[in-house]
Amino acid sequence: MLTRTLIGLVAGLAITLAGCTAAAPSPPGRIVPGTTTAPREVNVIARDYVFAPDPLELVPGETVLLHVINGGLEVHEAVIGDAAVQDAWETAEAATAGRPPGPTPLVSVPPAVAGLRVVVASGQRVDVAWTVPAAAGGTAWVVGCHIPGHWARGMQVPVRWGGPTASPDASAVPAS
């Protein structure tokens, strides 16, 4: 019990510090896109059964340095993609129900499934450089967690597209 409490306190401190050092969010549609030589830093914070920020703002074609921080007590993942990506990971993860959560050889999706998946243990931060697909801006994308039961508990937030190709109607969470 003491270990879980200590992990929770450390994770909370990490989230607080991450929030203190992050730049103020850009107004919607006014994001300066990252490039391969100067990626935009983006924090995604997973807690037990929510993500922040809500929504996640991305620009199609930009390169981001994604910091996925787990401030919860359970393993979480951030799967970023459209409804097909979310459905594929939900199906793949459902097969692991009852097993310890996280990446295992049993969890995979077809190679044609696009998107990004980052698994983060409690209290950890994983950094990933990622170029958002340029064609993504016209469709609804989501950040979701598919550890068994997490999606059903509402662990999902929409992606809002910013920059010169902003599409205000493409931020809805797809039904699953």
pLDDT value at residue 110: 73
Question: DSSP states of the chain as a string?
Answer: -HHHHHHHHHHHHHHHHHHHHSPPPPPTT------SSSPEEEEEEEETTEEESSSEEE-TT-EEEEEEEE-SSS-EEEEEE-HHHHHHHHHHHHTTTTSPSS--TT----TT--SEEEEE-TT-EEEEEEEPPGGGGGS--EEE--STTTTTTT-EEEEEE-GGG--TTS-PPPP-
Q: Confirm whether 170 is domain-assigned.
A: no
Segment holding 144, helix H or strand E: strand 142-144
Look up the CATH number of the domain holding residue 6.
Answer: 2.60.40.420
Q: Confirm whether 130 is domain-assigned.
A: yes
Q: Confirm whether 141 is domain-assigned.
A: yes
Domains: count for the chain: 1
On average, the pLDDT of the chain sits at 80
Q: Confirm whether 173 is domain-assigned.
A: no
Tokens at 62, concatenated: 């930009």
Q: Please give the distance of CA 15 from its chain centroid, rounded to a whole number.
A: 15
Q: Confirm whether 99 is domain-assigned.
A: yes
Q: Confirm whether 104 is domain-assigned.
A: yes
Strands 56-58, 156-161: pairing kind = parallel
pLDDT value at residue 174: 46
pLDDT value at residue 111: 75
pLDDT digits (tens, 9 = 90+) for 128-148: 999 999 988 888 999 999 999
Proportion of the chain above pLDDT 70, given as a percent:
72
- Domain residue limits at 124: 2-165
